[in-house]
Amino acid sequence: MTINKLVIKNYKLIRDIVIPLNPDINIFVGENDAGKSTILEALSILTTGKLNGYAFERQLKANLFNNAIRQEYIVAIGAGQTPSPPQIIFEAYFDSDADFKGSNNTLSEDTVGINITVKISDNNTPIYQKMLEAGDVKDIPVELYTVEYHYFSGAPVVFKYGPFKSVFIDTTRKEYAGIVDHYVSDSITENLSIEQLRDLAIAYSRSRREFHDDDTVKSLNQAVKSVIQGRSVSLGLREDDVEAWKKQLSIVVDDIPFEHLGFGTQNTLKIELALRNAEEQANVVLMEEPENNLSFTNMAKLVDHISASTGKQVFISTHSSYIANKLNLENVILVNNGNVTSYRNLPADTKKYFIKLPGYDTLRFALASKAILVEGPTDDLIIQKAYKDQYGKLPHEDGIDIIVVDSLAFKHYCDIALLMGKQIAVVTDNDGDIEKNIRVKYEGYLGKDMLTFYYEENADLPTIEPSVLAVNCECGQPAEDFKRIISSETRYSLKNRDYDGILDFMINNKTEWAFRVFEAEKCIQYPAYIQKVIHHYEEYH
């Protein structure tokens, strides 16, 4: 049983959204405060009736409502109007028994699902009207609200017997007690008989008595003993219930208590224990930034674990391109200001490419508001320097992200840009043959409104090195200022080199010469295509 569609209205960052979901894995990506966690919370509420582990209806606050909706309501009330009080709505559409089927949903579909509505209760409607008339309503009156849980059939939802059992793994928090306690409790239940449980309880009581009988404790009590209102007062251990000993047990890893482990190791164990629980009980797994504090090796193991999961629907929020690429970009749902874009329609070869080569920074690209793709660090450094020479600041200060991409991946990034409607600039070498390496290679991409390709138009200058050198020559030889700039800081090491010698140095020291240009106080000349690149986002300066 899987959720195939999610509706969220007026909750936190999301005003009104319908999200088509994948049956196996859903990866929500986006900037901070884009709405990723909001979606996971909605899924938790729909599958458990809980928010952060507590009953949702006990946590109603005005700030749970979408801020724009809330402000519109406050303004209308302040203007003397009588607006309908806003509602929060969550809906999960899924495939299940006909018992849950009905059309009591916001999309009026005759299907199976759960509806959760936060609204003023019918009993409190008259009170609300009186408060309006008296001018006592200044904000959303959540004290009059209730939460209604219904299937689309109209039947009430009882989560204990509902179709979903979910587990929420949040590695962004240092809370672990619930997961550890669950593991300890299961370990006790599975491995100890009733007689052994009794013997442990007796042993715990004995240890408490021995504490009271210890000479040091007796000395302490003699020192603090006093009489208050005629009664003797001393110190002692609090009285506990008969199973209090269970609460004193925790996990110990290589003789180190769990709470003293590093955050990364704690997260690894939390995830492993939660996934083990999910394998046994849950059919929905919610994960908040699973890569948090994990090494690359552990992250790779986690991805393999998730990939091997069967019969479960997994929802992940992440900033990791590795996780997104490895678990298939088809499963990525980009979240931006409460809106979503699914990567499901990417070309198959693009999805396959990033699965095979998961190291590419696809999420950095997806999240960049303005992106320039380049082939290598040399192009990156030279474009940054050219930009700074022109505008007095680096590209990132204008929100422009220069991303180094292997030229073989350019077309795949272009596929993502076209799907997202993202305007990008691509800077590439002509490699000595413009027809073959530009026009034919990028046929189908050239001429697209969202994509602009920049390259050296002289085929005799195949890469950035000869292209830059050509515009920094005087009478066919490298200009002295240029040779000084790309020479070693401590000496004029390239003083006696001619054109071929300088070109040879640049080709064999690609990053080094570019870094020296980037660090230099003086400016060099830039090829025409580089000058065009830095003007690509002119309107943002």
DSSP SS3 for 428:
coil
DSSP 447: T
DSSP 435: I
CA dihedral (461, 464, 466, 471) in degrees, to 10, reads: 100
- Across 238-247, 261-270, 441-450, least confident range: 238-247
| Percentage of the chain modeled with pLDDT above 90 | 49
- Residue 276: the pLDDT is 64
- Residue 375: the pLDDT is 93
Can you list the alpha helix ranges (DSSP code H) found in 318-409?
Answer: 321-326, 348-356, 362-367, 377-391
pLDDT digits (tens, 9 = 90+) for 483-498: 999 998 777 889 899 9
pLDDT digits (tens, 9 = 90+) for 311-357: 788 888 887 777 777 778 888 888 877 788 888 888 888 888 787 76
Contact 69, 118 (CB under 8 A): no
- Residue 540: the pLDDT is 45
The number of CA neighbours under 13 Å toward the Cβ of 310 is 1
Q: Which residue type sits at 130?
A: K
Give the pLDDT band of residue 384 (cuts 50, 70, 90): very high
Detail the DSSP E strand segments found in 162-229. Answer: 166-170, 226-228
Contact 385, 394 (CB under 8 A): no
For every residue of 453-504, DSSP letters joined together read EE--S-TTS-SHHHHHHHTTEETTEE-HHHHHHHS-SSS-TTTT--HHHHHH
pLDDT digits (tens, 9 = 90+) for 29-44: 877 778 889 999 999 9
pLDDT digits (tens, 9 = 90+) for 186-208: 555 555 677 776 777 677 677 76
Residue with tokens 């180094």: 404
Per-residue pLDDT for 257 more than 50? Answer: yes
pLDDT digits (tens, 9 = 90+) for 355-378: 776 766 787 888 788 999 999 999
Long-range contacts of 433-440 (CB under 8 A, 24+ apart): 433/459, 434/459
Quote the mean pLDDT of the chain.
84
What lies within 8 Å, CB to CB, of 317 at 6+ separation is: 27, 28, 29, 36, 37, 39, 40, 287, 288, 289
- Nearest CA to 326 out of 344, 351, 349 is that of 351
What lies within 8 Å, CB to CB, of 236 at 6+ separation is: 212
Mean pLDDT on 387-394: 94
Burial class (CB in 10 A: 0-12, 13-18, 19+), 94: buried
Contact 85, 27 (CB under 8 A): no
538 alpha-carbon distance from chain centroid: 31
CB atoms within 10 A of CB 509: 15
Give the pLDDT band of residue 280 (cuts 50, 70, 90): low
- Across 151-160, 358-367, 508-517, least confident range: 358-367
- Across 227-236, 315-324, 455-464, least confident range: 227-236
What lies within 8 Å, CB to CB, of 360 at 6+ separation is: 321, 325, 354, 405, 409
CA distances from 15 to 9, 95, 509 (A): 5, 26, 53
| Percentage of the chain modeled with pLDDT above 70 | 78
Mean pLDDT on 227-253: 59
pLDDT digits (tens, 9 = 90+) for 522-535: 999 999 999 999 99
Per-residue pLDDT for 379 more than 60? Answer: yes
H or E stretch at 151:
strand 145-151
- pTM assigned to the model: 0.71
- Nearest CA to 91 out of 106, 110, 69, 108 is that of 106
Element counts in the chain: helices (H) and strands (E): 20, 24
Across 29-33, 46-50, 160-164, 298-302, which has the greatest mean pLDDT? Answer: 46-50
- Residue 74: the pLDDT is 96
For every residue of 499-531, DSSP letters joined together read HHHHHHHHHHSHHHHHHHHHH-SS-----HHHH
Mean pLDDT on 19-34: 86
How far does the chain reach from its first CA to its final CA, in angstroms? 51
- Residue 368: the pLDDT is 84
DSSP 284: E
Residue with tokens 């089927």: 101
The number of CA neighbours under 13 Å toward the Cβ of 148 is 17
For every residue of 308-322, DSSP letters joined together read H--S-EEEEEE--HH
Contact 375, 406 (CB under 8 A): yes
- Residue 291: the pLDDT is 66
CB atoms within 10 A of CB 16: 15
Dist. CA 292–CA 153, nearest whole Å: 40
Contact 394, 424 (CB under 8 A): no
> Could you tell me the sign of the dihedral formed by the alpha carbons of 118, 121, 125, 131, in that order?
negative
| Buried-exposed string 296-329: b where 16+ CB fall within 10 A, e elsewhere | eebbeebbeebeeeeebbbbbbbbbbbbbbbbbb
- Residue 230: the pLDDT is 63
Burial class (CB in 10 A: 0-12, 13-18, 19+), 484: middle
